[in-house]
Copies of this chain bind each other. A is one copy, B any other.
Amino acid sequence: MASTSPEPAAAGETNDPIRIRRLELSDHERGFVALLSQLSACPDLTASEFATRFAELAAQGDDHVILVAEDPSASDRRILATGCLFVERKFLRGGGKVGHVEDVVVDAAARGRGLGLRIVRRLVEIARDAGCYKVILDCTPELRAYYAKCGFVEKGVQMSVYF
């Protein structure tokens, strides 16, 4: 997550102007938090608050990856989509690792272009390369078909307690 290097283009994406890369500290100024507000309650963070959380997550190295999509040719280079992967280390499965996909959202004005799928597929690749034996995510029932396009199948139910 701390890397400022763009992700390499995947096969078939070379003509697509949208770039998928890791979150950068300067993305606070490119509407990253406002984009998340299309997913959940999301009050803005000050630059200092953003930098603190960014540093906490960067300290997790490759166990925590946030990808973003941007159009490098756009004047404001606002973030168009994002998705997160974090790696959980377990004792079971021979000391196995599980990838968790969280906080996938595409800007309402940029939907229908496959940006979310590109990000999720890239996150799944990263999890596999990291040695995870599976990747999981929770979603609403309406999104089952969407994530099926990335190879996900329904496995169980998500339960929650809100405080």
Contacts and interface: CB of A to CB of B under 8 A. Distances in A.
Contacts of A94: 42-43, 45
A127 to B, nearest CB: 8
A42 B161 CA distance: 29
Contacts of A159: 136-139, 144, 147-148, 152-155
Interface in A139-163: 139-141, 144, 147-148, 150-163
A47 interface: no
Contacts of A40: 92-93
Interface in A112-150: 124, 128, 132-141, 144, 147-148, 150
Contacts of A111: none
A95 B45 contact: yes
Nearest to A27: B91
B158 A140 contact: no
Given A92-B37, A94-B45, A103-B90, A134 B162 contact: yes
Contacts of A93: 40-43
B157 A139 contact: yes
Contacts of A157: 138-141, 144, 154, 156-158
Nearest to A146: B159
Given A154-B157, A156-B141, A132 B91 contact: no
Given A93-B42, A100-B100, A161 B156 contact: no
A36 interface: yes
A41 B98 CA distance: 14
A97 to B, nearest CB: 10
